């Protein structure tokens, strides 16, 4: 293994994701900031009620309009959206 060829490092993938998704990135930052300030509250997964949830945005232009989904149901929701939109997500 040569250390010249590490194109898919976590860092690079994140940097590329940020370049391609400025609106999503902004929504994530706005959501984290709103959570810290107590403007929105983390809730349980709306599907199974699990406590360990991620914020999901139906519309990234409205970062305060979040739905709370556990890792598994968040993934499932994105898979569903991906099918509906025929790609584009992540």
What is the rounded CA–CA span in Å between residue 66 and residue 9? Answer: 30
Between 47 and 65, whose beta carbon lies closer to Zn ion? Answer: 47
- In degrees, rounded to 5, the angle at the alpha carbon of residue 86 between the alpha carbons of residues 65 and 54 is 30
Taking residues 27 to 66 in sequence order and writing x for each that binds Zn ion by CB under 5 A, - otherwise, the string is ------------------x-xx-x-----x----------
Least Å from the CB of residue 73 to Zn ion: 3
- 25 binds Zn ion per the rule CB under 5 A: no
Residue 6 half-sphere exposure, CB side, CA atoms within 13 Å? 8
**d(C-alpha 54, C-alpha 36), whole Å:** 14
Smallest distance, Å, CB 18 to Zn ion? Answer: 16
The residues binding Zn ion (CB under 5 A) are: 45, 47-48, 50, 56, 70, 73
């Amino acid at each position: 293994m040569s250390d010249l060829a590490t194109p898919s490092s976590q860092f690079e993938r994140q940097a590329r994701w940020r370049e391609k998704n400025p609106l999503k990135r902004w929504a994530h930052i706005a959501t984290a900031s709103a959570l810290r300030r107590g403007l929105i509250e983390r809730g349980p997964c709306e599907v199974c009620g699990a406590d360990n949830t991620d914020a999901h945005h139906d519309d990234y232009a409205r970062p305060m309009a979040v739905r709370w989904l556990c890792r598994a149901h968040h993934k499932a929701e994105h898979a569903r959206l991906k099918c509906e939109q025929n790609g584009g997500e992540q």
